[in-house]
Chains A and B, each alone.
Chain A
Amino acid sequence: MIELLRAAAEEAPHRVALASAAGVTTYAELVARAETAAAELRSRGVRRLAVLDPDHATVWALLAACSLAGVESCVYPVAATDETVAELRERLGHDVLVTPRDLPAPGLLRPDELWAGTDRDTGPVPDGPRPLLVLTSGTTSGRPQAARHDWSRILRVTLRIRPTPEQRWLLAYAPNQFAGLQMLLHVAAARATLAAGTTFQPRDGLEAMRRFGVTHASGTPTFWRFLLAELRTEGEPAPPLEQVTLGGEAVPSAVVDALRRTFPRAHLSQLYAATEMGLSISVRDGEVGLPLSVLEATDGEAEFRIVDGELWVRSRSSMLGYHDDEPVPEDGWRASGDLVEVVGDRIQFRGRATEVINVGGVKVHPLPIEERVARVPGVALAHAHGRPNALVGQVVALDVVLADGVDAAAVDTAIREEFADDPAAHRPRSITFVETLDVQGGKLVRGRTP
């Protein structure tokens, strides 16, 4: 990370790296903080630390400092309660936590303490391992896990990024997420500017797009769905984006169509990545799913194959293992947990292996159902999941957010008619109208706890 910031600062020290409601931070300021903090961390003998700070510039500088000082960093989610922070520190063995929050001592450092010194580490990045921990979103397991990565592997994906300083990217992911880290890396490699809203809510993202003249934005399909809903509600012209990127979840074609209509000038890309797998592929053809040709490719960041309907990945930027767990082979194949189906020349995503709905022994994938429900007039958002049932194990259930001013009974009837000719096990048997859907880390919280 430090090498990317240094290159950007060398080219244009006063270029804005990060713009937010709190102000702007230049590349030179980031580098100064990072180099000062690196010297301070070395002098204190810190080898591992956690960061909990709502200020993105602070997090960015500390990540760079750790990458320079060979300190293993781990960014905690700002939304974590004091109890969650204590649990993470205990579980991950973080004796040192850098945070402005008033938490129980010992082991707390305030960010200001790290850049109050006069010494700067202006030396080269060290040889050898440069570890970092990245927390998973926890949407699958309910509890974040910590994936061990190495800067040298993660930085591989930045080698092909050419400088595009005119780009202004929206930060739509929190820096504790792998996707947020990718954004920091991408913008630093592009020597561009990152713009952050006051929160990661789509409404605030939209506000930041307008305030800072954002040209490029990357978010989950759930983020984009809500952002489109915000745009419809406010009735203002959409920001003139040049790039719209989706990732982190399967991409529904209805969302792609709506994004094309709303942002007609924008290139549409999909990222296929995960905290454990690293960044695997970027698909820029604007079509849903992956091209079948990825199964033949061996020259990219990752290789793919399909085993029993599940996508397996061998990525050069994958994690080295979970914290405190056995290392995984650096070039090993890994089951992605994503169930796929080959349709024509595309690999289409059908849902997570853990989300398959078992209706009396019939396996039903939720995503194709959601896709169709989302196209029923009057439906703003839909989430399909298995509802436990004493008779058949599970039935297909829907949580549906209605568009403004539509009649729930009419939409209920329309949804049921949409599936009337489907196999009995595939038909939604429970439709619940809700105000909103649970979102965590920009992703729909999938499945339901029985």
Chain B
Amino acid sequence: MSSDTTPVRQTVSDFLVRVKKGRDELPDDLALFGDGLALDSLEAAELSVVLEDAYGRDPFSAGGELPQTVGDVLAFYEAAPTP
């Protein structure tokens, strides 16, 4: 994992604590939905807002497939690092 993704992982972690779904670890393969973090649609919307505020764009609004895992979120920013 590149060091550029560390702030993103921390942002996701902070968000999860706020919505009372915090975890000690956030492995890349942890699912955002379903049996993983079990984000509902509005929590996912809120996460997209948090990421957009922090980094100017977010993987939920990018028009492609929705990210399914924590790793997908990190990969979005790794693929085209935020300036």
Q: A424-B40, A430-B53 are in contact. Are A391 and B45 (CB under 8 A)?
A: yes
In the complex, what residues of A have CB within 8 A of residue B66's CB?
Answer: 391
Interface assignment of B11: CB less than 8 Å from any CB of chain A: no
Q: A416-B18, A429-B45 are in contact. Are A391 and B60 (CB under 8 A)?
A: yes
A360 and B45 CA atoms in complex are apart in Å by: 10
Q: Which of A391, A424, A432 contacts B48 (CB 8 A)?
A: A391
Interface assignment of B46: CB less than 8 Å from any CB of chain A: yes
A425 touches B60 (CB 8 A): no
B46 touches A429 (CB 8 A): yes
A389 touches B49 (CB 8 A): yes
A390 touches B41 (CB 8 A): no
Q: Which of B42, B60, B63 contacts A429 (CB 8 A)?
A: B42
Interface assignment of A359: CB less than 8 Å from any CB of chain B: yes
A-B contacts, 11 of them at CB < 8 A, read: A387-B49, A389-B61, A390-B60, A391-B41, A391-B60, A391-B61, A395-B42, A395-B46, A424-B40, A424-B42, A430-B49
Interface assignment of B38: CB less than 8 Å from any CB of chain A: no
Interface assignment of A392: CB less than 8 Å from any CB of chain B: yes
A395 touches B41 (CB 8 A): no
A416 and B18 CA atoms in complex are apart in Å by: 9
**B residues 4-60 touching A (CB-CB < 8 Å):** 18, 40-42, 44-46, 48-49, 53, 60
Q: Which of A359, A395, A416 contacts B49 (CB 8 A)?
A: A395
Additional A-B contact list (13), CB under 8 Å, known A391-B60, A395-B45, A430-B49:
A359-B42, A360-B41, A360-B42, A387-B49, A389-B61, A390-B61, A391-B44, A391-B45, A391-B61, A392-B42, A424-B42, A429-B42, A430-B46
In the complex, what residues of B have CB within 8 A of residue A360's CB?
Answer: 41-42
In the complex, what residues of B have CB within 8 A of residue A424's CB?
Answer: 40, 42
User: At the interface, is chain B mostly helix, strand, loop or mixed?
Assistant: helix
Chain A's nearest CB lies how many Å from the CB of B78? Answer: 21
B40 touches A429 (CB 8 A): no
Q: A416-B18, A430-B53 are in contact. Are A389 and B40 (CB under 8 A)?
A: no
Chain B's nearest CB lies how many Å from the CB of A287? Answer: 35
Q: A390-B61, A416-B18 are in contact. Are A425 and B42 (CB under 8 A)?
A: yes
A389 and B18 CA atoms in complex are apart in Å by: 20
**A residues 377-422 touching B (CB-CB < 8 Å):** 387, 389-392, 395, 397, 416
Q: Which residue of B lies closest to A387 (CB)?
A: B49
Chain A's nearest CB lies how many Å from the CB of B29? Answer: 22
B18 touches A392 (CB 8 A): no
A207 and B62 CA atoms in complex are apart in Å by: 51
User: At the interface, is chain A mostly helix, strand, loop or mixed?
Assistant: mixed
A395 and B43 CA atoms in complex are apart in Å by: 10
Chain B's nearest CB lies how many Å from the CB of A24? Answer: 52
Q: Which residue of A lies closest to B63 (CB)?
A: A390
A395 and B50 CA atoms in complex are apart in Å by: 12
In the complex, what residues of A have CB within 8 A of residue B40's CB?
Answer: 424
In the complex, what residues of B have CB within 8 A of residue A392's CB?
Answer: 41-42, 45
Pick the 7 closest A-B CB pairs, nearest first: A390-B61, A429-B46, A391-B45, A430-B49, A392-B45, A424-B42, A389-B45
Chain A's nearest CB lies how many Å from the CB of B15? Answer: 11
From A390, A397, A425, A432, residue with most partner B Cβ within 10 Å = A390
Chain A's nearest CB lies how many Å from the CB of B68? Answer: 14
Q: Which residue of A lies closest to B42 (CB)?
A: A424
In the complex, what residues of B have CB within 8 A of residue A359's CB?
Answer: 42
A424 and B45 CA atoms in complex are apart in Å by: 11
A397 and B53 CA atoms in complex are apart in Å by: 12
A389 and B52 CA atoms in complex are apart in Å by: 10
Chain B's nearest CB lies how many Å from the CB of A179? Answer: 36
In the complex, what residues of A have CB within 8 A of residue B60's CB?
Answer: 390-391
Q: Which of B18, B42, B46, B48 contacts A390 (CB 8 A)?
A: B48
A429 touches B49 (CB 8 A): yes
In the complex, what residues of B have CB within 8 A of residue A427's CB?
Answer: 42
Chain B's nearest CB lies how many Å from the CB of A328? Answer: 41
In the complex, what residues of B have CB within 8 A of residue A397's CB?
Answer: 49
Chain B's nearest CB lies how many Å from the CB of A357? Answer: 12
Chain A's nearest CB lies how many Å from the CB of B37? Answer: 15
A389 and B45 CA atoms in complex are apart in Å by: 7
**A residues 335-360 touching B (CB-CB < 8 Å):** 359-360
A412 and B53 CA atoms in complex are apart in Å by: 15
A425 and B66 CA atoms in complex are apart in Å by: 20
Chain B's nearest CB lies how many Å from the CB of A360? Answer: 6
Chain A's nearest CB lies how many Å from the CB of B19? Answer: 9
From B42, B44, B49, B66, residue with most partner A Cβ within 10 Å = B42
